[in-house]
Amino acid sequence: MRNIKLTIEYDGTNYLGWQKQPQGSTVQQEIEKALKNMTEENINLLGSGRTDSGVHAFGQVAHFQTNSKIKANEFQMGLNSSLPRDITILNAVEEDLKFHAQFSAKSKTYIYKILNRPHPSALLRRRAWFVPLELDIDLMKRSAEYLIGEHDFKAFAQSGIDVKSTIRTVLKVSIDEKDNNLILFRIEATGFLKRMVRLIIGTLIQVGKGQISPTDFLNILESGEKTKFVYCAPAQGLYLKEVKY
């Protein structure tokens, strides 16, 4: 038995997220189907975690076990020639059998792109969240600082999720203004809750618009209460950037 690790870029626009499901096409399903064609095995591909419908990835990581003798780089070439063009295998390497894409992960980094200008963008309509109102970036930066460290992120978790704990550790956060009116939010944590980044972004935007203050943001984080200002930002601005091991 061999263990292969894949690093995957995808455009989430046309997929119902990462995780396989009966209702439609997902990234996991597409890759498993292509692996079956190559190996004639029913391969179970395990991702570092799920991404929601419409969310993109620059570097999702997944692993699978196989009895085939196909080399790692041949998997990469074979998959890239048979997968739809909105999924790309960036890297394929053989790992020892202990490697697990989810459980071996030390941290994950997400980025979120906000287009902040008066008019939408034809070219970025599926790549960023269009926010026409002027934003106070400094207030957003000050609020984002509060996220660093170990916290109970209950306020920024999808309601009703079934997890043992909503405590997570955020390692790094940054907000940068880029060319072309783009605001780039970057967050690295040891783990994330379902919808966590999108709920954080949606709430940070309320700070940027002046609807709530950085202190209000801190209160939401500390109280764990999902007030009406905890808003879920749309999927198309979110990218799983990197998984570290």
Name the residues annotated as catalytic.
52
Q: Which of 74, 94, 97, 125 binds a copy of itself (CB under 8 A)?
A: 125
Q: Which of 40, 67, 106, 123 binds a copy of itself (CB under 8 A)?
A: 123
Does 110 engage in binding with a copy of itself (CB under 8 A)? no
Tell me the number of residues near a copy of itself by CB under 8 A: 20
**Under 8 Å CB-to-CB from 19, ≥6 apart: which residues?**
26, 28, 47, 50
Q: Which of 4, 5, 6, 10 binds a copy of itself (CB under 8 A)?
A: 10
CA 207-211-217 angle, 5° bins: 45
Considering only 7-15, 101-109, 155-163, 188-196, which stretch makes contact with a copy of itself by CB under 8 A?
Answer: 7-15
Separation of alpha carbons 231 and 82, rounded Å: 39
Pairing mode, if any, of strands 167-177 and 182-189?
antiparallel
Tally of helices (H runs) and strands (E runs) in the chain: 5, 10
CB of 243 to a copy of itself, least distance (A): 17
Does 80 engage in binding with a copy of itself (CB under 8 A)? yes
Does 127 engage in binding with a copy of itself (CB under 8 A)? yes
DSSP H helical segments within 101-229, as ranges? 137-145, 196-208, 214-223
Give the Å distances, CA to CA, from 51 to 20, 47, 62, 101, 106. 11, 10, 12, 14, 18
Task: Give the pair of three-digit tokens for residue 87.
Answer: 């999924």
Does 121 engage in binding with a copy of itself (CB under 8 A)? yes
CB of 174 to a copy of itself, least distance (A): 16
Does 88 engage in binding with a copy of itself (CB under 8 A)? yes
Task: Give the pair of three-digit tokens for residue 193.
Answer: 């809750």
Q: Which is nearer to a copy of itself, 221 or 240 (CB)?
A: 240
CB of 125 to a copy of itself, least distance (A): 5
Does 71 engage in binding with a copy of itself (CB under 8 A)? no
Residue in the block written with tokens 């979110």: 238
Contact 1, 55 (CB under 8 A): no
Does 105 engage in binding with a copy of itself (CB under 8 A)? no
Q: Which is nearer to a copy of itself, 85 or 106 (CB)?
A: 85
Contact 183, 113 (CB under 8 A): yes
Q: Which of residues 181-240 bind a copy of itself (CB under 8 A)?
A: none
Considering only 17-25, 84-92, 150-158, 191-199, which stretch makes contact with a copy of itself by CB under 8 A?
Answer: 84-92
Backbone φ, ψ for residue 13 (5° rounding):
-50, -45
Q: Which of 120, 150, 215, 222 binds a copy of itself (CB under 8 A)?
A: 120
DSSP helix/strand/coil, 34: helix
Binding site for a copy of itself (CB under 8 A): 9-11, 56, 58, 76, 80, 85-90, 119-123, 125, 127
